[in-house]
Structure 1
């Protein structure tokens, strides 16, 4: 069965209308068929490599080297020897972190990866072969965990629900079959954005129950350690500004972005920006303490990337600059840190420029 046929069958099984989060889940993660489950190369610097987008670890190894300093501090503060990464992609970040943590004398006893894609697991095994004795893969989050957790561009890939506002009422946006393709149809729903006012007629936006549930589950699972998530997004007050009335949903294919998730289904990534206020509240309500929240630029500078740049080549400095530049990844990407109840510490990455008060 093709991915399209699978989704059409799912729509029929749901009475002819499928919530967008279920559609997004199938488009990205349907076993053997979804975007992340297929054999297409996703990660790389250039479209002529056959890739669709670039993440920070592929852009510069200094990303992982700087982040490793935060992980080393968290490991020392918590007494944890394990690192757990969610959605390790190509394995680039894992390789950078293990190598740098080893160099810092904080090498993890185990580096555990939670990865749903069998195809990506295979690529990660090749990349991480030098540390094969310490790397293991998990199918799901363990019931109890003592580790320092990291996730780079994980929350943005979790399925979202779409809401549409006509000026009077909110409706949930879902998917119907339309010939051989798909179309949007809105239905009455009790769902609402977390903010009550400020929306203009025609607004389409997202809510993030799956990402928030994931963080809440992690908070109940992580007994000792810390967790750091890096992703693009905003605090709630900025996420739902009137000028963002089209929402943040975006697709990526061949290093080009487009807003149409109903075309080329399974051949491109689908993402939405993160509402970091919702993520912080979900964590707090489940027992986490927020260690800090800041821009990627502030976080990496706090973790010593400036010193690492001194020994980099000119080309290496240019690529690393994209991690810090306000008009590139430096401001759009944010970092949020958590610790279990009773395990808070002054996290290095938030020493300057902490924006927790804006969440």
Structure 2
């Protein structure tokens, strides 16, 4: 921790203000708050949470980098898949958690070139700060199509189009669960410890205990996460999608791998100024908190909602299937100064040592064709 960059005075003051808010909530709750509630406040408390405050999140000046920030080739390749599906729907693209807005700009640009612009591009985001950044970026990078873009703070009641979510599931508050010495499932929460916060465990309620008991190995002290929020999100998409497609891209594993006995400390991690932080209670409001995705639970939620499970595979395989090489070939390779960085970024997207293997793509459909280009080879549904 001592080697991490220190926040400036304004950021430190904002974190202390958020700590006071969370501390008051802990007191009001009797001295203990479920970790999922702590995580929700740390990320989304109005004006103070990580995604609700004004610090830079993405890129070199932020805390982490996403695929769209690396290269427009990511959005251009995804656009090829969307262009295949959009004409079969009502013509709207819905993007959840649009980050800086770069993916939206890249998608609109490539879809225009493909002759398949959406009638509407709806961004659903909870962060007023990020929405401001998205609006500014799109006004600068995609002014021609800005009239097609709108913003919403909640899920539309009716979805008819293509739904995309890049690194959305991992940012949803998760429950921390622990296998107790007697085999029972405990729910990890947050308490005050002087001026700081600390973990404390309580017995899990019946619903959470049943869910976790089916996943956690019978190893006392085993710690991991479950995400009712992920399942609820996909279930709601299924309930509201009248026709179209859902494409979710995130890092994670199928259940058997997620809850492997050797992964005994779970996957919860913090991202602060391009450093990974093991302590999720570090600098509340200034650090991103994420956990990996249990793609088996996501698939189960989609199927239970009546959606067709189109496929599940690595990001590398999806991008290769969808035409990443063709997108790279469109660039002028004789201009080494521009081509080389894009080729390097494309390699990072597909390399097993970088993003290619850890990131997965899962897709659902309703009322559209089931043979999608992005899933023609390398499907792993059998592992879910």
Q: TM-score range by the shorter chain?
A: over 0.9
Is 1:337 aligned to 2:363, yes or no? yes
Is 1:179 aligned to 2:194, yes or no? yes
Name 2:81's counterpart in structure 1: 70
**Which of residues 300, 325, 341 is equivalent to 1:281?**
300
Distance 1:86 1:32 in 2: 20
Distance 1:198 1:164 in 2: 10
Name 2:25's counterpart in structure 1: 10
Is 1:132 aligned to 2:146, yes or no? yes
Q: SS of the residue aligned with 2:283?
A: coil
Q: SS of the residue aligned with 1:354?
A: coil
The C-alpha deviation readout for 1:96-135, integer Å capped at 9, x for no partner, is 1010111101011111000111110111001111122111
What pairs with 1:156-235 in structure 2 (closer than 5 Å)?
156-168=170-182, 169-189=184-204, 190=206, 191-192=208-209, 193=212, 195=214, 198-235=217-254
The C-alpha deviation readout for 1:300-333, integer Å capped at 9, x for no partner, is 0001001122244112101110000001000000
Name 1:255's counterpart in structure 2: 274
CA RMSD for the aligned pairs?
1.3
Name 2:335's counterpart in structure 1: none
Structure 1 25/266 Cα, relative in aligned 2: closer, same or farther at 3 Å?
Answer: same
- Structure 2 gap segments, 5+ residues each: 1-15, 332-338
State the 1:155 CA deviation: 0.2
Name 2:96's counterpart in structure 1: 86
**Which of residues 137, 146, 155 is equivalent to 1:141?**
155
Distance 2:120 2:215 in 1: 45
State the 1:197 CA deviation: 6.2
Does structure 1 conserve the Cα–Cα contact (< 8 Å) formed by 2:89 and 2:368?
Answer: no
Name 1:36's counterpart in structure 2: 51
**TM value normalised by structure 2:** 0.90
**TM value normalised by structure 1:** 0.96
What pairs with 1:282-301 in structure 2 (closer than 5 Å)?
282-301=301-320
Q: SS of the residue aligned with 1:80?
A: coil
Distance 1:100 1:285 in 2: 34
Is 1:21 aligned to 2:29, yes or no? no
Q: SS of the residue aligned with 1:15?
A: coil
Q: SS of the residue aligned with 2:262?
A: helix
State the 1:344 CA deviation: 4.4
Distance 2:199 2:328 in 1: 47
Q: SS of the residue aligned with 2:353?
A: coil
Q: How many residues align?
A: 353
State the 1:178 CA deviation: 1.2
Name 2:341's counterpart in structure 1: 315
Does structure 2 conserve the Cα–Cα contact (< 8 Å) formed by 1:289 and 1:344?
Answer: no
The C-alpha deviation readout for 1:166-222, integer Å capped at 9, x for no partner, is 342221000011111100000011333263563422211000101110110010001
State the 1:62 CA deviation: 0.4
Does structure 1 conserve the Cα–Cα contact (< 8 Å) formed by 2:179 and 2:216?
Answer: no
- Structure 1 gap segments, 5+ residues each: none
Q: SS of the residue aligned with 1:63?
A: helix
